[in-house]
Copies of this chain bind each other. A is one copy, B any other.
């Protein structure tokens, strides 16, 4: 006897669906590997597929007309991209790319729209996820205005840590600098600061979380609320 597909799928949103409703869309899902650096979409380009990650991390990056870039949000097994598809918009609003090797189930835009129209549970879950992401946006926004670089770095590492197994996160300072919209050397000094307190260990091309509670206490204000909201939103859905 086969294991039902749903129990093997570790995307939070898909796993929340009542089994019958999951059954109705499972045929439309295609399993794909998304290595680091994969571009899932570019601002202004058509949305081909919707992605439900089961592992790894991706990020959504805003680019201003003059070419300044900043990370708007992060997603992993907890979400899906791009959220604009709920609004029946055919174009990507932002750039989306994979930053930690990922696996995902994907679904064509047409199938997604059809599911939204005909599958109440599905649309309910997806809209909740959009709301959750929107809350993440608002707190990142506040963090950018309120917290200094080191606090924001701590927050960012915690958010990554939530989405990967183990304590090792593979990324360069250069990359972190883009994510936090600070200079590359600022990342270096901030990492040293966190390392000095023993919260992390920083090596060439990777960061290892050594003391998560410490990191969390350091980030204080900057981390936690959106995560609480996410849990609240995904509870008692049906």
Report how many residues on chain A are interfacial, defined by Cβ distance under 8 Å: 44
Interface pair A131/B89, CB less than 8 Å apart = yes
| Interface residues of A, dominant DSSP | helix
Interfacial residues, chain A to chain B (CB-CB below 8 A): 60, 62, 64-66, 68-70, 72-73, 83-84, 86-89, 93-94, 124, 127-128, 130-131, 133-135, 137-142, 144-146, 180-181, 220-222, 224-225, 229, 233
- Tell me how far the C-beta of A178 lies from the nearest C-beta in chain B, rounded to whole angstroms: 11
C-alpha gap A233/B127 in the complex (Å): 18
Question: Which residues of chain B are within 8 angstroms of A134 by Cβ–Cβ distance?
Answer: 83, 130, 133-134, 137
C-alpha gap A89/B135 in the complex (Å): 13
C-alpha gap A157/B145 in the complex (Å): 18
Question: Which residues of chain B are within 8 angstroms of A222 by Cβ–Cβ distance?
Answer: 64
> Which residue of the partner chain, among B65, B66, B87, B142, contacts A128 with CB atoms under 8 Å?
B87
Question: Which residues of chain B are within 8 angstroms of A221 by Cβ–Cβ distance?
Answer: 64-66, 68
Interface pair B220/A145, CB less than 8 Å apart = no
